[in-house]
Structure formats: structure tokens, C-alpha cells
């Protein structure tokens, strides 16, 4: 960690729609800095009320999921691992939006799973944040849900590729995994000088799978603290909470995402916790977690995990 | 429920390796009876210690996953739904077994996902049940895990088909879903007179996904109470706990299992809880659960769920 | 081959909707007999004209794809391979039917790939067979296509399982593969005394993939000659034409079907044509065929093949 | 077409490992020019003989599949379609190479379909081109195969994304489809000024599916003629031969590639050949082709096609 703890605010002038090594850094920060990042919502605030149907409100949007960044983290070099501690997420407006977007989501045909059918009807849901900020309510659904925010998108720039901000991958990206939340630390591989961090797409909350493809989208202020772990290479994003260690695998079909996440978890148990590989496979079989983060993005993200209580031996 | 509550013990003379409408009932019971079913483990107790490698111990086993049944439930007729309350699971030996079986499991090529590679090494793990019956321990893994038993396989006979006891499906079957556990109620569609219930494959516990394909396999005594819901048709297995309602979808690729489970959950919310269909889709998006039960069987089983707290409105 | 060549006509009184070892044989034949089998179409002739929309005409059909059989082939025992030479297919009416059935087909959501969308419109196409029997014509499509008939469904009974006649698998079944055609020989594994052959679902022709799920369905008379290859076990259906050897793999996702078909083809090249396994893999890479038979049934069928010209060395 | 037909030779100084809009054009050409492009093989000629095992010879290669380009085609603008006529492919050496690369190919676990198994053995095959250039022969396989060359990789730059040269997609790319061959015309969507064409990875031949992931890789000289179709937008690559029209869909799982290719073919039949959409679906069902181009790349490429004889009406 850096010895000087500064607070740096990152308010972007423009957004990136790609995780790209080709874009100039928006900010330079040091490990240990408290970095407060302002983020747009996935629709760039084009949807504000029930009448802003996607076919109308998004018609002029060439790209979606605007990202703040890249943020250059000093000292991060190819071959390192970036540790991203999420300290807090604060909403910067008093409502969240969700919507049914034509041919987008988990329970409709899509541009990838093409059929000849008509799309589902469009609909917009506005969820009002309560005065105490602890719950959200939508009158059509008629249910109150808890404020449990997380960052839908958190990425480093890939190695020479520039990839759509709608994609999850080894670089993190649009994972839509609820465990990318305040209190947890996300580990990402570093391929570029400065790591080049992108983030956005904050969610007031989301169920596992993000069924319709659009969580409770908010504009937000996210506070990160970065750390650089030198000369340590990981293959896929890792997450650590107080209770669990986790790996996010993203692929299609979904079983490939599950395989990636579980294999990487087993290798982690082998390398850092002293398990024989096959015994780690056995432990994951009997005690591992495996949930669906998203079943809607360009690839699906699954989270394999192990309780830390099983790692003390 | 039946007015006379009897306790009926079902100790099979032979086992079925199929969910079949063609096999004579092992027992006839009434709704409300307490039915205590003795079950074999998935290997029919052929693996008793570390040296019983599958290629040797299972060589003479033509079929796996022996089932007790069918149990004929009086009053159950095609078009009804069978409610199966699981009251308890007691082990009938003091250890559980798991094993790496060649070309079986989630992190190896298999008979379905064929490759030209060699299989993984074989290995057997014996997990000793503690004296108080609350934990299990294996010395190779070196970790203690909790006794959290459930029934790996619970089925009704399909409509005219006779299907391998290794398969999950609309009939329930080899779902390997940890929520098929004491305290919960499983709902299954009825296609045959008497429903014709099969069960077996009890697990001392299992992680989500059952990564290596073999949970902590035990012989057991399972206590069920059946109820018949007349003239109610469901398409896929449902589970109800104190906290959640759940649907189990089984298919390949895994996203199809997720789609089935989520669509069925949405239809359930629409039909029985008064939600508009699209609002139910929205609620599942923001508050639904979605975990992998198994990624190892003939099809994969995913569990979509909704907290009951969101259903009070 | 049998020394006495008889012609036996099999006209069923009733049909089977399952590939089942539990059904009494419709006929007993000997290897070498010329067996003329009358088959129904997949809709059991419920669709006769454009107005017979599936939602109406099929409403009373509990099961689809009626099969003639089982035919007991004398001398066939478990562990043998059955060779089925298809000599000819003759239509028994002067038209073929195809239809769009709600939630069935390759370019719509289905009961397996569930979405919340509405089904595609229903439509029936009647294709008239020309007077010379060489082409078919539908006035809506306005195109003439060639009479190139094949048997959509050809199966042996599985080992104890009774499986829906809509399913393809290791037992053959509803493969919907155009190479199951007159002039070719299909090889199937034998699990039951007499092999227990089922067939039906003849098609006047079909494209690769059978996109909408319904080929040019006809009633027909199919002439087979069976042969038994003693003590030879195969894992998946094989086909031999004058030009090629082929393997049919059926699975989901589609890549698993491709893997099965290619691995089995490589093992065939190794076992019977003297190739080293890796060299066979190489030859398949550079000269193998791989087309989609069906992308619509309960599992997808892919056909891997090798030209016989590459086998002479 | 351009009025002045020039011949332009493109010999690259360096290669691109990405389909990128960010790279300076290697050459500028006009529609109608005969453009002779020199291409490297997929391994950048690092494998020259049987002893150049991939783990050794490719160890220093950070990226694979080097591309020549981009070639700027004058007059091509976003919203146009680029027509690429392939006139000829000439080898620039007298042998082709193939190899088994660890964890790469269709019949092994991979970085996407992860397992815990060991890789297949490595092996290199050198196939000698005959003196008349019509066949190739490898002594281990012992079989002679025909010279039927095609371009494994042909792409336009995507819209702002820079994507690995190993990927196929809507932009064309590493499709590994044998129909991208001399005599045929490939149509690609244009997203950038000048289209920005990349090509490489020529193959002396390849079977359908490219099972082991490495075709008969050659260095070559490819002659293209480009044409620009103004204000015509296509979604996925199209190919036209004398006999057939084709669409290439690339996705995972493989059925998604098949859906894309078939839906796009149906829309093509509707838009340009006057078929009603459902009738086009019917025609594709009865007369369409559907083969696997590759089952080894980052996504799988399937080719849906229709014989031109069915389009004359």
C-alpha cells in the first residue's frame, strides 16, 4: 500500500464504450489512494421514466454501457495482479431504472440466440429509492427490495484488444456479479502499464442471473482503493469477501463458464492453500458454491466459491 | 391429508435402475402416512474404502444409482401434483464415500463431452461421520464439513418412458439439488396412477454443482409424507422451504436449464401470487436466486428461486 | 446372411411412440429377409391439407412420431451389431406435408430453450408429388424439389430404457439424417434379444438441419434387409454409403454431438482401417465431413464422415 | 467496378494479430484492382518440420495467426457492403504443416472448455505438395489429399473494437470455412472508412470442422478483387459460389451459430429473392445445407446455404 493516502475524484468528460488500451487515461492514481469514481448508468441516463421505451430513448445511442476510465494505477505492470478494494457505492440520484429491451435478456431470443419470433413487449420500471436509502420500490411490481449495490462492470484493459463494454472476460468487464460489492476485493490480471481500469454500470441490486438483462441501474459514486501485487499472474477475476474466496468465469455455453470458474478455484486452492489438486477438486465438490451472475451478456458469468472456514487447517 | 397417520417402512428386496412405469410397486401408501424409505448409495455400497477404485469395484455393476421404489401413493392420478414433504434423513452407516470415476464429472471430458484425452486419475475419499453425527472428516482433504443431508434422487415415473436413474428431468429424478432436504417440500407432476415414486442416492452433503460428479454418498433412511394436490398440473419440479419457493430446470446446455427454471418460476409467480408476467420477470431479475445443482449428470439442474418475503404484498 | 431370402411385409395394427424393450414384436424376421415395412408419417396422417393447423389437428394426439415395430431379428443378441441395408422407400400417398408447430423447430424458442415470447404463426405446407414421382412442388413456396427419400427414424430398443420416439441417441432413433437413405447401410448396437427394430417418420426429402423441425413427411413402404454382425460392439450409429463411412452423434449442445461423431469416426479409422489414432485425428481434420442432420429434436444429430477414397492405402 | 484495372502487390513488413481499426493501412487499393496479397501461415512459419513441436517452436510467439493488412479499399464507407472476389491462391512454399497444439482443438479440453486432464500428445505433420501441385502427402498418415486451397481468415475491421485474429465474427475473421475459396465471392459489412481488410491463414485444404484446430497451413499469395456495394448493410458474412448462396454464423454454443446462419439466410431469401419469410423457412428446411466450418476457434462457424437452382422461379 502507498504511504500517502489521498482522495482523488474522477469525474469523466466523456465515456468509453470499450475496454481499450488505446484510450488516454482519465486519471492517474497511486496504490492506497482513495479513488472516488463517478459513473453513468448503462443507458447513459437516457431512460428517466416509464415512457422512455428503449426503442425510442436508445435509438440514438450507438453504444451502451458507458465506462469511466481508464484509470492509470502507478506501478502496475504486465505480469502483476491488481487488487481493487471496493469501499463504498453511493447513488447520485434517487431512483433506479430497469427495462425490457427488444431481443435482449435471458428469457428472449437475442442477436446470438436468433429465432424468427417477435420480441417481447418493451417496458420500463422506475424503482424509487426510499428516504433512508435502504430500499427501493416500484409500483407495478408492488414489492420493496433492499439497497444492495454493486458494480456491474469493472475491468482492466486487455492485451492489445479493444473489447465492447458489454462483454465480460478474463479482464473482468461487464460481469454483472453481485459479489463485486462494497467490502469485497476484486483481483484482476494486468496486461498494460498502469493496468488501465474501467468501471461503470452500477446496480442498486440484482438477482442472480440478471434475468431480463437490466438490473436496477443507477448513476453512482464508487470509492475504490487499488493495490498492486507484483509478479503474480492470475488468469481470471478473483473476488475475496470476509467469508469466501471466489472466481468469476465467463463463457458460453454456461457450462464452460462453470468449468473455468471451478478449475481456477481448484488451482487457487492448490497454489495458495496447500491442497493437493484432486483433494481440492473433492473439497469443491462437497463444499463449493456455484451461482449464475449473468445469463444475459455476450458471455455468461458464473461464480465458483469456497468458504474461508474450510481453508483453516 | 389422510386422517389415519401410519408409519410405513419400505425396505426393498431389489432396486430399480430406472424411473419406470413398468415396475411393480414396492409399497402402497396413503397421503399423510409417514413413509420411512431405506436407500442404497449411488454405488450400491460397492465402494467401502480407499482401495475400492471405481474401475475395479464398479466393474461388475451394469447400472448405477439404485432406486427404492416405486412407491404407490393412493389417490394420485394423472393430472395431479404430488407434494413430497421430506421429514428427515438418517444415515445407516458411519461414513460417506466420494470418488473420481473415469470420464465422469464436471471437470473432465465425458461420454457426452468426448475428447481424445486420457481420463483423470481415480481416487476414493472416505469421509468419517463424527460421533455426534454433525460433521464429516476426510484425512486427505484435511477439512471438516457439516452434515447437511439431502436426497440426490427423487422421482415419479414418467409417462410411458422408462428413463435411467442417472437422469434428472421434469419427473424430478437425479437432480442432485441440495434443497431437496429435510424440512422442504418437493412438488412433482403425476403421470401415472399412484404417482410411482422412486428415491435413493442420499448425500451427507454436496457443494453447488457437485463438481466431480460424486457427492458424499451414504446409505440412509429417509422419512417422507406425501400429499396429493388434485387437478393441478405443473411442468417441472418445484421446491418450497420456509424461506423460498424454487423451481428445478434440467437441460443441456446449462443456459437452457436456467431458462426453464426461470420461466417456470415466473409463471408460478403469475399464477399463484398475482403478479403480471412481465412484472414477475422484473422481480426475478432484481431478487431471484439461481444456482447450479449439478453440472455432471445426463442433463444439468439449475435452481431458480424467490424469497417468500417478496411475495407478501 | 440367411440362405433363404423371403419377402416379409410388416403392416402394423398399432404404433409405438417409444423405443421400448417392453413391447411385443410386430414381426419376426431372419437376416437376409427382404422386409417391407409400412410406416405412418410423424403426425399419424392427422395433417392432410393447409387448414389442418397443428394446434387443431394434433390436439388429440398424446404422442407423436408413431413407429412400426419392434421387428425381432433372429440371431441378434446383446453385444452384436445390427446392419440395416435400406433397399428402397416408396411413397404410399401422392403428397408430403410440413408444418410450423408452435414452439417446435430450430428457429423458435422451444420447451427446452424456453423464452417468454409468443410462438411463430402456424402454417401447413402440402407438397404434391409429381406424376413421375421425381419431384415435389408447393405452390406457396413456388419451388420444385427432388424426391430424395430417407427414413427419419430408425432404432433398436435401448437396454431397459423406454425412450420417446422423438429422441435420437446411441440406439439410432429419430436422427433425421438424410444419409439414412436407400442404398446405404446403417449399423446399430444390439442390446436386446432380436435387436427389436423400430422405424417410421419417412421423409420425401429434407435439408441439413431440418430447420423448422418438420421435413417433407410421408407415409411409406420401406424395404430393409437385416444382417447380424456377431460379437461386434459399436457405441453410436454408423452409416456406410458407396462413397463414405459416417458416424451419427446426437447430443446437446451441438458441439457435443460433433465431438461424439468425430471421436467415434477416429476410433473406427483406428480399429478397422489401421490408422494410428493421432494420424486418424489428422486425417479427419484435413478431409472429414461434418454436417448437421437435425437441430430440432430432443438432442441434435451431427454426421461426421470420411471419403472411402482416403481409406485405400 | 473501377474503370482502371491495376495489379497491386501487398507484401507486409509486419503483421497484425488483431482485426483493428487502429492500425495504419498497409496498402490502398481501388475497387476493380487485382490485389495480390502475401500471407504468412498461422504459426508465422515457426513450424518447418516434425521436430518443431508447438511447445518449443511457439514458445516465443506472443500472438498467433498473423494477418496481412489492413488494406484500405477506396470508396468503402460505413453502411456499405464489401464484395471480395477471391481469384486465386498460390502456395509460396512446397509443403503445408499441421500440428497438435496442447489444449487446442475440437477433441480436447481447451482454455474455454476447461478440464483438469492432461493435454493430448503434441505432434507435427508435414504434408508435401506434389510436383504438379495437385495433391499433398504425409508419410505418417499415408494418404494423399487434394490441393483445395482457401483463406482461413478474411476480415474487415470491426467498429471501434480491436479483436484477436483468432476470432471469427460478424466481421468475418478467422472463420476457417472452406467455401472462402477461389471462384467464390465473400460479402462483409463495412464499419470503417476504407473497410480495412485483413487476411491470412491460408489452408491447402481442410475438412469440415477443422477437427484438431490446425488445417494444412501454408504461406501463400492470394489474389483478390474488391467491389463496394453502396448503402447496403448486411449483418453477417455471406458467400456466393456458382452454385450456392451461403451465410456464415459464428457463435457458441454451436446451435447459436446454426441459428444465426439460418435466420440470416432466410432474411436474404426474403429480401432479395422474393420469398415470404415463412416460406423461406420452409425452403431452408427442405433444401438448405448446413455444415460445420470450424469447431475449434473462439467461436464456432457454421455455413447455411441454398442451391441457386431453387432460386429461379
Find the CB nearest B263 among C17, C116, C253. C116
Q: Is the pLDDT of residue A160 over 90?
A: no
CB-nearest partner of C209 from D141, D288, D310? D288
Q: C307: exposed, middle or buried (C-beta count within 10 Å: 0-12, 13-18, 19+)?
A: middle
Q: What is the pLDDT of residue A61?
A: 86
- pLDDT at A2 (0 to 100): 47
Task: Indicate yes or no: CB of A117 within 8 angstroms of CB of C120.
Answer: yes
- C100 CB-side CA count, 13 A: 20
Chain C hits for A116, Cβ within 8 Å: 107-108, 120
Q: How far is A256 from chain D (nearest CA, A)?
A: 5
CB contact under 8 A, B262 and A292: no
- At B3, the pLDDT band (50, 70, 90 cuts) reads low
Q: Decide if pLDDT at C171 tops 50.
A: yes
Region B19-42 average pLDDT: 97
Do A255 and B258 make contact, defined as CB atoms within 8 angstroms? no
Which of B102, B114, B116 to mutate to probe the D interface, most D CBs <10 Å? B116
Closest by CA to A29, choosing from A2, A49, A56, is A2
Beta-carbon separation of B285 and A310 below 8 A: no
Q: How far apart (Å, rounded) are the C-alpha atoms in residues B25 and B71?
A: 6
Nearest to D195 by CA among D13, D8, D28: D28
For the domain bounded by C239-310, which CATH number is listed? 3.10.28.20
State the pLDDT at residue C207: 98
Q: Which residue matches cell numbers 408476467? A: B277
For residue D1, the model assigns a pLDDT of 47
Same fold, A7-235 and A239-310: no
The pLDDT, as a whole number, for residue A3 is 57
Count of residues making up chain C: 313
- pLDDT tier, C185 (very low <50, low <70, confident <90, very high otherwise): very high
Give the residue among C233, C297, C230, C243 at the shortest CA–CA distance from C264: C233
Specify the range with the lowest mean pLDDT, choosing from A115-124, A238-247, B53-62, C257-266: B53-62
D22–A22 C-beta distance less than 8 A:
yes
**pLDDT tens for residues B278-295?**
999 999 999 999 999 999
Query: Nearest CA to CA, how far is A302 from chain B (Å)?
Result: 9
- The CATH-assigned architecture of domain B239-308 is Roll (3.10)
| Cβ proximity of D70 and D197 under 8 Å | yes
Mean pLDDT of A214-236: 98
Does residue C139 carry a pLDDT above 60?
Answer: yes
Whether the predicted pLDDT of A60 surpasses 90: no
The whole-angstrom distance between B119's CA and the closest CA on chain D is 7
Confidence band of B1 (pLDDT split at 50, 70, 90): very low
Residue B77 CB-density burial (10 A; 0-12 exposed, 13-18 middle, 19+ buried): middle
Quick one: closest CA in D to A16, which residue? D160
Q: C138, D281: Cβ pair inside 8 Å?
A: no
Residues in chain B: 313
pLDDT over 70 at C211, yes or no: yes
- List of chain C residues whose C-beta atoms are within 8 Å of the C-beta of residue B253: 252-253
**Ranges of residues in chain D whose predicted pLDDT is under 50:** 1-2
User: What does the alpha-carbon distance between residue A65 and residue B246 come to, in Å, rounded to a whole number?
Assistant: 32
Averaged over A216-245, what is the pLDDT? 98
Decide: A111 and A103 in contact? Cβ < 8 Å.
yes
Tell me the per-residue pLDDT of D277-295, one tens digit each, with 9 for 90 and over: 999 999 999 999 999 999 9
Which residue has cell 413391447?
Answer: C23
Q: Report d(CA D97, CA D102) in Å as an integer.
A: 16
CATH fold group of domain D7-233: Jelly Rolls (2.60.120)
What confidence score (pLDDT) does residue B60 get?
Answer: 87
Q: Under CATH, which number does the domain C7-234 receive?
A: 2.60.120.580
Which single residue is written with the C-alpha cell 436422427? C175
Q: Are A18 and A161 in contact (CB under 8 A)?
A: no
Residue in D100, D109, D110, D252 to test binding to B, most B beta-carbons within 10 Å: D109
What's the CA gap between C308 and B134, in Å, rounded? 63
Residue extents of the structural domains in chain D: 7-233, 239-311
Q: Are A174 and A214 in contact (CB under 8 A)?
A: no
Q: For residue C226, how many other CB atoms are within 10 A of its CB?
A: 24
Residues C49-87 have pLDDT tens digits of 999 999 999 988 889 999 999 999 999 999 999 999 999
**Are residues D199 and D154 in contact, defined by beta-carbon separation less than 8 angstroms?**
yes
Give the residue numbers in D contacting B (CB under 8 Å), as ranges: 107-109, 113-120, 253
Helix (H, G, I), strand (E, B) or coil at D274: coil
In a mutagenesis test of the A interface, which of D78, D115, D160, D258 is the best target, namely the one with the most A β-carbons within 10 Å? D160
pLDDT for residue C219 is more than 80: yes
Q: Do D259 and C106 touch (CB under 8 A)?
A: yes
Residue with cell 468449468: A259
CB D222 within 8 A of CB D37: yes
Give me the percent of chain A exceeding a pLDDT of 70: 98
**Cβ neighbourhood burial of C142 (10 Å; 0-12, 13-18, 19+):** middle
Do the chains contact at A256 and D114, CB–CB below 8 Å?
Answer: yes
**Helix A277-287 vs helix A254-273: crossing angle, to nearest 10:** 120
- State the DSSP H helix or E strand holding residue C253, giving kind and residue range, or none if neither: none
Residue C178 near residue C292 (C-beta atoms within 8 A): no
Q: Is D207:D98 a contact under the CB 8 Å cutoff?
A: no
If you average pLDDT over every residue of chain B, what do you get? Answer: 97
Q: Note whether D254 contacts C259, CB cutoff 8 Å.
A: no
Check pLDDT > 50 for residue B2. no
Give residue C92's pLDDT: 98
| C-beta pairs of A228-232 under 8 Å, 24+ apart in sequence | A228/A31, A228/A73, A228/A75, A228/A76, A228/A80, A228/A81, A228/A82, A228/A83, A228/A190, A228/A195, A229/A80, A229/A81, A229/A82, A229/A83, A229/A187, A230/A77, A230/A80, A231/A79, A231/A80, A232/A80, A232/A81
Cell of A215: 438490473
CA distance C185 to C208: 19
Q: Are A212 and A162 in contact (CB under 8 A)?
A: no
Q: Which residue of A has its CA nearest to D161?
A: A162
Contact A163 D163 (CB under 8 A): yes
Task: Decide if pLDDT at B264 tops 60.
Answer: yes
Which residues are within 8 A (CB) of B232 and not within 5 positions of it... i.e. 6 or more apart? B80, B81
Contacts of C303 in chain D (CB under 8 A): none
Mean pLDDT across chain C, nearest whole number? 97
pLDDT at position A75 over 70: yes
Q: Please tell me the distance in Å from B193's CA to the nearest CA on chain D.
A: 38
Residue B226, class by beta-carbon neighbours within 10 Å (0-12 exposed, 13-18 middle, 19+ buried)? Answer: buried
Q: Which CATH class, in words, describes the domain spanning A7-235?
A: mainly beta
Instruction: Give me chain A's average pLDDT, please.
Output: 97
Q: Are C257 and C300 in contact (CB under 8 A)?
A: yes
Contact partners for chain A, using 3 or more CB pairs closer than 8 A, are B, C, D
End-to-end C-alpha distance for chain A, whole angstroms: 28
B-chain residues within 8 Å CB-CB of C281? 116
CATH of D239-311 among 3.10.28.20, 3.90.1720.10, 3.40.50.2300, 3.30.1950.10 = 3.10.28.20
Tell me which residues of chain D have a C-beta less than 8 Å from any C-beta of chain A: 17-18, 20, 22, 63, 112-116, 160-164, 251-253, 256, 259-260, 263-264, 266, 277, 281
Note whether ipTM > 0.90 here. Answer: yes
CB contact under 8 A, A116 and D263: yes
Amino acid at each position: 500500500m502507498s504511504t500517502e493516502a489521498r482522495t482523488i475524484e474522477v469525474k469523466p468528460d466523456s465515456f468509453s464504450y470499450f475496454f481499450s488500451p488505446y484510450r488516454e487515461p482519465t486519471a492517474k492514481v497511486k496504490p492506497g489512494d482513495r479513488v472516488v469514481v463517478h459513473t453513468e448508468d448503462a443507458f447513459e441516463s437516457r431512460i428517466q421514466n416509464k415512457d422512455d421505451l428503449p426503442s425510442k430513448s436508445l435509438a440514438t445511442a450507438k453504444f451502451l454501457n458507458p465506462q469511466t476510465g481508464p484509470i492509470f494505477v502507478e506501478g502496475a505492470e504486465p505480469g502483476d495482479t491488481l487488487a481493487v478494494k471496493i469501499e463504498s457505492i453511493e447513488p447520485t440520484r434517487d431512483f433506479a431504472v430497469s427495462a425490457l429491451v427488444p431481443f435482449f435478456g435471458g428469457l428472449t431470443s437475442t442477436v446470438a440466440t436468433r429465432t424468427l419470433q417477435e420480441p417481447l413487449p418493451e417496458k420500463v420500471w422506475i424503482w424509487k429509492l426510499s428516504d433512508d436509502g435502504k430500499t427501493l420500490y416500484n409500483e407495478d411490481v408492488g414489492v420493496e427490495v433492499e439497497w444492495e449495490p454493486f458494480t456491474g462492470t469493472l475491468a482492466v484493459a486487455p492485451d492489445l484488444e479493444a473489447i465492447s463494454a458489454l462483454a465480460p472476460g478474463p479482464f473482468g468487464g461487464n460481469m454483472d456479479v453481485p459479489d463485486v460489492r462494497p467490502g469485497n476485493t476484486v483481483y484482476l490480471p494486468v496486461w498494460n502499464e498502469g493496468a488501465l481500469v474501467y468501471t461503470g454500470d452500477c446496480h442498486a441490486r440484482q438477482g442472480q442471473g440478471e434475468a431480463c438483462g437490466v438490473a436496477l441501474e443507477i448513476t453512482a459514486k464508487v470509492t475504490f482503493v487499488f493495490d498492486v501485487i507484483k509478479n503474480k499472474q492470475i488468469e481470471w477475476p478473483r473476488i475475496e469477501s470476509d467469508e469466501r474466496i471466489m472466481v468469476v468465469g465467463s463463457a458460453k455455453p454456461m457450462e464452460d463458464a462453470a468449468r473455468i470458474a471451478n478449475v481456477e478455484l481448484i488451482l487457487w486452492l492448490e497454489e495458495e492453500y496447500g491442497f493437493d489438486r484432486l483433494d481440492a477438486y473433492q473439497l469443491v465438490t462437497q463444499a463449493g458454491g456455484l451461482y449464475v451472475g449473468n445469463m444475459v451478456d455476450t458471455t455468461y458469468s458464473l461464480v465458483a466459491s469456497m468458504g474461508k472456514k474450510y481453508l483453516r487447517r
